[in-house]
Amino acid sequence: MLSLYLSTTVVAQPQVGLDEPGDSTIRRIDVGAVAVLDEDARTIPDLIQYELGPWQPNDPESSLFAGSWSLAGEFLRFDMTVNGLVNPPGPLGLRSDAYDPFMYGPSPIVGFVEFNIDLNANTGGELDFPEFRYLGNVGRFGGRVDHPIWFDRAAVCGAEIDHFVSTPPFVDRSGEEFHIAFAGDTIVAVGHRIGNADDTFESGEAWSVTAKWLHRAHAFERFSSAGNDGIYEPEADFLFRHVPTLDQTVITLIFPLTNLAAAHARGESEEPNNGSDTDQASIFEGLVNLTQSVNAIPIGDPTRQEPDFQTIRPWENQSAATYLDPFNWDVNIVIGMAYETIDPFGALFAPTDVWPGPLVGDFNANGIVDSGDIEEFDAFLNVNDGSPLSDDDAEVDGVITIPNFGPNFCLYDLDYNGLIDNQDRKRIVIMGDLNFDHSVNIEDLQEFVTLLLISATTPDPVSPNLSIEKFIRANFIRDGVINGKDIPGFVERILAE
């Protein structure tokens, strides 16, 4: 990534997640999915990539952001790159009556980044508002994610989000120990590093933001002895910087992994791990508190039998030091836009992108869209068409009308209009299937060669000599031209049959 003024000395590499540019799409979650979003005036957040790993500042007390990735780094560093100019969010009315998400600019980024530190899906999570998190929203984007932890836990339809931690698909239990909540209400201070001194984040500017956006999983709070009612939400240092040459915004978090690192950043002597987020705070301290809290609940205590307790129980007798390498953490992300006015029914934001993102139409998460996905779509439609629980009109008419659309959704509603019908089926695009028989074989090879020859002389996909449907299915690299660059994709697809 382009750096404006940070050190570029690299002695280790972070983990990197790459998301396809241009794949953002608005998914309103308000009742009726009709609330106002000014799509023309505001940037639609489109995730490009993230980087996560251990980081070592050159001089932690003077600056956390000048340094290098390091296997022995005392800090975690997380960078998230978004297309276009996005700015820190103002208050969303979560902890006050104020609703001013556009306080710092026209395009606030809203959403959540979740860190599964111990790679255990059964620890942590979000019990109160899973509908705003990754597992409660990834299904809105039209496919299942091939991930060993999250595949079975993501909601297929919004009705599966029942706020009961013990019922499958366990949308509440994402496995996250910490998350970043881009919510705006807990900004402590804003500093202007590059740019003018007004309160609008503009092109080419860089701002340091101190905010209580880094939270330990809220599922732990009832059982934790930390700070204020089990809450662990320390102040953390973020950097927003817009790179005008790329028209991208990079959002960086740097945070101590241990209290010793926190002491180095504050120019103090190291404090003990006291479970408080108001003094020296760190990932290690937050994890140690989990082990102490669960160990403090006696064997035989009725609390241990409560369903919610299972979110913290696996931390019993764990060694927090085992989990301090951010390179090994799992990450999931959901980001989006703020509504123009506060939603009276509590919709927090409209998601626009997720990581990891699904392949649209890949309902069985095998990595390709094939005949199996069409079969699954047809089976779902046949079973639920006319069902009084799944179909709002309760009529067998080839169309499922999703009840309470907006808060509710369904994976198979690919055009996201609240209906599951033949228009969605048409969006299940099997790449390489050029004769539309739901398979890719020698007959499609002949069609592909013909398209190559036609495209050599007629590259315009809207030409009467080219079928736009076939063009889409043959243009594997999506560059608007069918040529030799598409051959490897076709070969891979035909061999996958």
Instruction: Provide the pLDDT for residue 466.
Output: 66
Cis upstream peptide for 169 (omega within 30°): yes
Q: Looking at 382, 398, 425, which one is the last position of a domain?
A: 425
pLDDT at 169 over 60: yes
Q: What average pLDDT score do residues 373-383 get?
A: 96
Q: What residues have CB less than 8 Å from 363, skipping those under 6 apart?
A: 143, 144, 372, 373, 376, 377, 411, 412
pTM: 0.91
pLDDT at 5 over 80: no
Instruction: Provide the pLDDT for residue 459.
Output: 63
**Average pLDDT, whole number, for the chain?**
92
Same domain, 203 and 275: yes
Confidence of residue 236 (pLDDT cuts 50, 70, 90): very high
Instruction: Provide the pLDDT for residue 465.
Output: 60
Backbone angles phi, psi at 302, to 5 degrees: -55, -25
Residue 160 lies in a domain: no
Same domain, 279 and 338: yes
Confidence of residue 4 (pLDDT cuts 50, 70, 90): very low
Instruction: Provide the pLDDT for residue 396.
Output: 95
Same domain, 109 and 227: yes
Q: What residues have CB less than 8 Å from 170, skipping those under 6 apart?
A: 121, 152, 153
Residue 490 lies in a domain: yes
Same domain, 200 and 57: yes
**Positive or negative, the Cα torsion across 472, 473, 479, 484?**
negative
* Distance from C-alpha of 60 to C-alpha of 75, rounded to nearest angstrom: 10
The 8-class DSSP code of residue 84 comes to S
Q: What average pLDDT score do residues 69-85 get?
A: 97
Instruction: Provide the pLDDT for residue 462.
Output: 58
Least confident of 53-62, 91-100, 159-168, 247-256: 91-100
Same domain, 344 and 454: no
Residue 145 lies in a domain: no
Residue 435 lies in a domain: no
* Spatial contact of 391 and 384, defined as CB atoms under 8 Å apart: yes
Instruction: Provide the pLDDT for residue 3.
Output: 32
How does 136-147 read in b/e, with b if 16+ C-beta sit within 10 Å? bbbbbbbbbbeb
* Portion of the chain with pLDDT greater than 70, in percent: 96
Same domain, 44 and 178: yes
Residue 293 lies in a domain: yes
pLDDT tens digit sequence for 331-342: 999 999 999 999
Least confident of 118-122, 416-420, 475-479: 475-479
pLDDT tens digit sequence for 244-299: 999 999 999 999 999 999 999 999 999 999 999 999 999 999 999 999 999 999 99
pLDDT tens digit sequence for 24-65: 999 999 999 999 999 999 999 999 999 999 999 999 999 999
Same domain, 188 and 64: yes
Among residues 69, 37, 38, 41, the alpha carbon closest in space to that of 56 is found at 69
Same domain, 320 and 381: no
Can you give the residue range of the structural domain that contains 485? 442-495
Structurally, how many domains does the chain consist of?
A: 3
Same domain, 81 and 190: yes
Instruction: Provide the pLDDT for residue 7.
Output: 40
pLDDT at 406 over 80: yes
Reported as half-sphere exposure (CB side, CA atoms, 13 A), residue 415 has a value of 11
